[in-house]
């Protein structure tokens, strides 16, 4: 006779395994989205069409391609799966164990990521069902709301500084190889490990530059009390291109976003993941 606690344990293990599998699919979906963003920006950088766009623009492009609807269904499942894994991890502390302030902060970060990607997954479902799916500048909208709050200007500028600090941390993480800490590459060949490391360093650094510029744009919006100066990935890429000699940096960052997408695909396979 099966003991009740054994049955419950098996159910928990099965649920955990499912959430982790969905999380891996989510990493792959993130990889595809960033690769599309990178390809479109690279085409723009080299004068072959393309454009600077964000995640929603990339998803619209995927939907317009061959088997677009099927691709969007898979991506939507992946994004929602990734959200479920991040939120579960935040709740259980499986990825960020302990009660130290740093662990709690990281768990809060997991929860924020889960909500953000869950929102994006829902947006894809709306796109698939032909319901109104806004494609506006979400960052600008948030900044506008915060500026209308008491002390909003300082909050906006603080948010921009935090984002720039996060970008610096990501570059440090890339250069020191700390991003490899949660990957198990023991089954990979030496050549694969080498490529994963290089794609990770290049891709994470490129994405950090984009986020750093987003932070700068948010700070400028706070300084001028003008939310129209804030922006997301697309506005950040365009701002990079407008800088002195920015065209070259724009091209490098665009290619780097493709590398980041490829690194996310590797992460989907090699990351050590737990949900409970």
pLDDT at 160: 94
Q: Strand, helix or coil at 225?
A: coil
pLDDT at 151: 87
What percent of the chain is modeled with pLDDT above 90?
56
pLDDT at 253: 96
Question: What does the mean pLDDT of the chain come to?
Answer: 87
Tell me the pLDDT tens digit for each residue of 29-74: 999 999 999 999 999 999 888 888 889 899 999 998 888 899 999 9
pTM for this prediction: 0.87
Going by pLDDT thresholds of 50, 70 and 90, the confidence category of residue 134 is low
Going by pLDDT thresholds of 50, 70 and 90, the confidence category of residue 8 is very low
pLDDT value at 132 more than 70: no
Q: Strand, helix or coil at 271?
A: strand
Where exactly are the structural domains of the chain?
4-270
Tell me the pLDDT tens digit for each residue of 180-230: 999 999 999 999 999 999 999 999 999 999 999 999 999 999 998 888 899
135, 109, 120: which is closest to 34 by C-alpha? 120
- Phi/psi of residue 271, nearest 5 degrees: -70, 140
pLDDT value at 100 more than 60: yes
Round to the nearest angstrom and report the end-to-end CA distance of the chain.
Answer: 27
12, 39, 29: which is closest to 79 by C-alpha? 29
pLDDT value at 81 more than 60: yes
Neighbours of 67 (CB within 10 A): 10
């Amino acid at each position: 006779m099966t003991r009740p606690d054994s049955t419950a344990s098996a159910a928990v293990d099965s649920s955990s395994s499912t959430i982790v599998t969905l999380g891996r699919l989510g990493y792959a979906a993130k990889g595809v989205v960033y690769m599309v963003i990178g390809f479109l920006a690279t085409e723009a950088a080299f004068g072959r069409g393309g454009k600077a766009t964000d995640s929603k623009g990339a998803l619209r492009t995927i939907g317009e391609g061959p088997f677009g609807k099927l691709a969007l269904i898979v991506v939507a499942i992946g994004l929602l799966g990734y959200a479920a894994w991040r939120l579960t991890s935040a709740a259980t502390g499986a990825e960020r164990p302990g009660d130290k302030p740093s662990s709690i902060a990281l768990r809060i970060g997991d929860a924020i990521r889960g909500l953000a990607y869950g929102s994006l997954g829902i947006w894809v479902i709306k796109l698939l069902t032909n319901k109104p799916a806004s494609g506006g500048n979400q960052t600008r909208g948030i900044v506008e709301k915060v500026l209308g709050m008491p002390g909003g200007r300082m909050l906006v500028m603080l948010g921009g500084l935090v984002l720039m600090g996060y970008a610096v941390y990501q570059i440090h993480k890339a250069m020191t190889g700390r991003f490899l800490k949660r990957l198990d590459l023991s089954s990979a060949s030496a050549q694969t490990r080498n490529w994963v490391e290089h794609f990770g360093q290049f891709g994470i650094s490129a994405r950090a530059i984009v986020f750093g510029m987003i932070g700068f744009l948010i700070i400028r919006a706070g300084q001028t009390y003008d939310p129209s100066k804030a922006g997301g990935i697309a506005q950040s890429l365009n701002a990079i291109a407008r800088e002195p000699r920015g065209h070259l940096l724009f091209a490098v960052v665009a290619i780097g976003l493709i590398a980041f997408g490829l690194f996310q695909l590797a992460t989907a396979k090699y990351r050590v993941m737990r949900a409970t």
